[in-house]
Each structure stands twice: as C-alpha cells, then as structure tokens.
Amino acid sequence: MPPLTSSAPGVRPKAYRFRCITCGDLSDQARQDFRCAHCGDLLEITYPHWKESGGAGRDLKSTWRERRLSQSAIDLSGVWRFRDLLPGLESDDQAITLREGNTPLYELPQCARITGVPRLFAKHQGLNPTGSFKDAGMTVAATFARLAGFRWVACASTGNTSASMAAYAARGGMRSLVLVPDGKISWSKLSQALDYGAVTCQLRTDFDGCLRLLQELVLRAPVYQLNSINPFRLEGQKTLAFELLEQLDWQPPDHIIVPGGNLGNSSAIGKALVEMRDLGLISRLPKLSVIQAEGANALVRTLREASGKKLVSVQAETRATAIRIGNPASWKKAVHVLEATHGACEQVTEVEIAQAKAEIGAEGIGCEPASAVTLAGLKKLVKQGFVKPGESVVLVLTGNLLKDPDFTINFHRGELFKGTPDEEASAALNSLRRPPVVLDATLDAVIRTLEQAEK
Ligand code: F0G
C-alpha cells in the first residue's frame, strides 16, 4: 500500500504536516484511516512554514484577486485559487478540478423580513459542479489520492459525498467505491454516483454503519478514503470561508450558520476563520453556529449533556437525509470551533425544516432540506437573543434544490406531514404550498387558475 506521506512524490516536502487534534502528535505520515498512530483520534493539517515566514497573510488578498483574471485551470477553480493556504502541489496540472467553488453570495430579502434580520445572506454551495459543498473538499482530497498513487478511492455517504467523489475520481482516472445506507438517501444523489461510474453498494445499515465499515476496509485494502475524516477534504472546504470573506470585502459578518451532520464542514469553516484571523486577513472572528435536525442531534446533546467532553451518539432519524447521522466523526473538531468562535448549537424540528426550505425556495434560490436547517435555526437564535436584528448573518446552503426532488414534491402536494395534528404548523405550511394542478387544456381553465392564484 502506498504510504500517505506529506513528502509523497509530487508534493513539496514539509509544506504541511499532520497533527493529532487530541495528543498534538506531529507527523509527516498518516495511516490509511487518518487516525493518530498514538491515541487514535483525528488528524488535522498544519503549515509550520507559515510561522517561519512570519505569516503568509500580507499579499494574499491581491494575489487572489489577480488570479480571477487568469484563464488557467487552477485559477479558474474557486478552491485552488486560494492554494497558498492549502497543501502544496509541485505543478498546477496535478490538480483534479471541475471549476468548483466560485459560488454566489445572495441577499435573502424575504427571509430577512421573516426573521427580522435585514442583513441576511446565503452562500450557496449547492451551485458547485455536482450540486453540493462537497466538491470544494473533494478536488483537494482526490488530487492527493492520485498523487499518493491510489487506483481506488472510497467513501461512506448520505449521498452528496458519493456523488462528488465519483465525479472527481472519474475526472482523475481513478475508480471509486461508494457505501450508502440502503433506502435512506435520495435517488437523485445515487443517480449521480452511478452515472460517474462508481461501484455503488447499498448497505443494510445506516450512515454510521457504512462509515464504521469503511474505516476497517481502508486498513485492509489499498483504497484511499475520501470521507471528511480525511483532513485534505477539510482543507478544501476551508475555501468556502476565504471566498465568502473576499465577497464581503474582508468585513467579517457577525454570524455564519451551517448545518451539522458528520461535522466536517463546520470544522473546516471554523479552521479557516481562525487561520484568517491569525494571518491578519480579518480582524475578528464571526460566530460560527451549527444547526442539527432534532432527530439527529448528537452535537446538541454532546454539548448539553456532556459539556462537549464526550460524544453523546443518537439513533438518527430525519427526512433531511443528508444529515441523518448519529455518530458524527468530527464532533471534537466542531466543539473546538464553536468554542473558538463563541458560536451556538441548536436543533430544529422536521416541520421547521420544511417551512424554512419552502421560504428559501420562494426567494428563487432553493436548497435541499439539510441546508434549510440554517434558516430554521436562525429563527430560533433570533428568538433567544443570540442573533440581534442589527447583526449580519450568512447562511451556508450546502446542497442544491434538485438533490432531493421527492421531499419538495411531497411537501407541495401536502403529503409530507399528512395527519400532523399541530394546526398552527399546518397553517404555516399550507400558506407556502404550491401544488401542481391538472386541468383540461382550455384557455378558460388556465385563466380561472390564474384568477384563483391572485386571491
Ligand atoms: N448538508 C448537506 C447537503 C450534506 O450533504 C451534508 C453532509 C451536510 C449538510 C452536513 O455536513 O457532514 O460536514 O456536517 N453530507 C455527507 C454526505 C455526510 O455523505 O454527503 P457535515
């Protein structure tokens, strides 16, 4: 098996090192499961030369701006454009890229009125090449998989990781193996993995079971694991925050709100914020808050019941299948970033998620259910006084509306919460429903429908 080393062929030696998040052990090599050889905890990537060179922050802003005028493949990537703060490549053409990143920051005027927070924005990661934020991490991790000489890459997934991994593996000439929970992910995501040529296994277990199996598999077979346990993934996902701050002209928002599943993305964004502060790119840290579905609330319970000291796992259940995760791998990293940024952690109900998703849809933007927890969570954080009306807030929308059409169609047809006893909730949901109508093909029928919609 090729070793996973930071001085692998094609990688600038000593450009980065692996550090254990618990015992702090530093190494140039990582095991196949990306866990510390001493204590078994997760690794993160650090850059010792940043300190030696007195910080890398000085000219970065203008370098990144200039690269936006370039037509080279590596500069057209909204991830590799920030390569100065990523593990180094020896040559630009080593990157496997689909022009990921470069995602828009939208204002949300209607949601701003609903929440009473006028300065409300959405960073839409669902507009990445495969429709989710995973592409930002995958371009980096897939690149390093190929540099380390692997033929096979693999992941456990609730759908989006597998779609992304399969695409980048195909682009990079590698084979991919997908482990997903049978019947618990959207067909739309599964169809992507199939089309991109992955070997797809629907396992009779949940996501947590798939991930457990993958961690054993990578110790036995020469496959490179591309879950967010892989620290290269998180390095790529950091760039969301770099790009966001650039879009805000380096004025940090007061709050950034993300959905929490396996907790890789919140960890990555938090790491980026701290790095930007340490390098002098921003003067203060936004508060990073994590929102979970009530039925998959391991981090919420970990903080409330164990003060963030040990993981409280749950048997996860939610219609937001992307975050149907009960045993989040990166929980410790997420606790660290919540502490570092003074963010909050909240949970939201299934009805709150559906309502928020329809409200984001009504802005002409749309997202998948897991992304909508951010707006639902914001409403709670406003009510609690944690977010003040005068503050600026960025919601990270992680997945595209088209990722889970069944959820959306069932919502609008009124089939999602059939028999829900809560009248208040039903009224709120009904006002957002736009069910399709089947009509005779006559002008009269269409005009009557128009008139009714006006009422
Ligand atoms: N939103 C979407 C759309 C996701 O697909 C995921 C995770 C999350 C939020 C949560 O992010 O895990 O970094 O906390 N999806 C993974 C997958 C688990 O396999 O696609 P996280």
Structure tokens at 110: 């209607």
Ligand 1 probe mutation, 158, 288, 338, 403, most atoms within 8 A of CB? 158
Position 34 in a domain: no
Identify whether 415 is part of a domain: yes
| 69 located within any domain | no
Atom from ligand 1 closest to the CA of residue 334: 14
The residues near 191 (Cβ < 8 Å, ≥ 6 apart) are none
Cβ(259) to ligand 1 under 6 A? yes
Query: Distance, CA 207 to ligand 1 centroid (Å)?
Result: 11
Q: What is the pLDDT along the chain (455 residues), one digit of tens a residue?
A: 554 544 444 344 448 999 999 999 999 999 999 999 999 999 999 998 886 555 556 689 999 999 999 999 999 999 999 999 999 999 999 999 999 999 999 999 999 999 999 999 999 999 999 999 999 999 999 999 999 999 999 999 999 999 999 999 999 999 999 999 999 999 999 999 999 999 999 999 999 999 999 999 999 999 999 999 999 999 999 999 999 999 999 999 999 999 999 999 999 999 999 999 999 999 999 999 999 999 999 999 999 999 999 999 999 999 999 999 999 999 999 999 999 999 999 999 999 999 999 999 999 999 999 999 999 999 999 999 999 999 999 999 999 999 999 999 999 999 998 876 677 788 889 999 999 999 999 999 999 999 999 98
Which residues lie below 8 Å from residue 445, measured CB to CB, with a gap of 6+? 439
162, 203, 230, 262, best to mutate for ligand 1 pocket (most atoms within 8 Å of CB): 262
The pLDDT value recorded for residue 53 is 55
Closest-CA residue, ligand 1 atom 10, reads: 261
| pLDDT score at 455 | 85
Task: Tell me, yes or no, whether 387 lies in a domain.
Answer: yes
Residue 316 forms part of a structural domain: yes
The 3-class secondary structure across the chain, one letter per residue, is: CCCEECCCCCCCCCCCEEEECCCCCEECEECCCCECCCCCCEEEEECHHHHHCCCCCCCHHHHHHHHCCCCCHHHHCCCHHHHHHCCCCCCHHHCCCCCCCCCCEEECHHHHHHHCCCCEEEEEHHHCCCCECHHHHHHHHHHHHHHCCCCEEEEECCCHHHHHHHHHHHHCCCEEEEEEECCCCCHHHHHHHHHCCCEEEEECCCHHHHHHHHHHHHHHCCEEECCCCCHHHHHHHHHHHHHHHHHCCCCCCCEEEEECCCCHHHHHHHHHHHHHHHCCCCCCCCEEEEEEEHHHCHHHHHHHHHCCCCCCCCCCCCCCHHHCCCCCCCHHHHHHHHHHHCCCEEEECHHHHHHHHHHHHCCCCCCCHHHHHHHHHHHHHHHCCCCCCCCCEEEEECECHHHCHHHHHHHHCCCCCCCCCCHHHHHHHHCCCCCCCCCCCCHHHHHHHHHHHHC
Residue 160 CB less than 6 A away from ligand 1: yes
CA 33 to ligand 1 center in whole angstroms: 19
Position 183 scores a pLDDT of 93
Please tell me the distance between residue 238's alpha carbon and the centre of ligand 1 in angstroms.
15
289 lines ligand 1 (CB under 6 A): no
**Does a structural domain hold residue 390?**
yes
Residue 296 domain-assigned (yes or no):
yes
Does 365 contact ligand 1 (Cβ within 6 A)?
no
Cβ 398 under 6 angstroms from ligand 1:
yes
403 CA distance to ligand 1 centroid (A)? 12
Question: Does residue 309 contact residue 316 with C-beta atoms inside 8 Å?
Answer: no
Within a domain: residue 144? no
Q: Residue 259 CA: which ligand 1 atom is closest?
A: 9
User: Which of 124, 133, 160 to mutate to test ligand 1, by most ligand atoms within 8 A of the CB atom?
Assistant: 160
Domain extent at residue 343: 105-131+235-430
Give the angle 45-46-51 at the CA atoms, nearest 5°.
170
Separation CA 183–CA 76 (nearest Å):
37
**CATH code (residue 331):** 3.40.50.1100
Q: What are phi and psi of 51, to 5 degrees?
A: -70, -45
Our count of domains for the chain comes to 1
- State in Å: Cα 285 to ligand 1 middle: 24
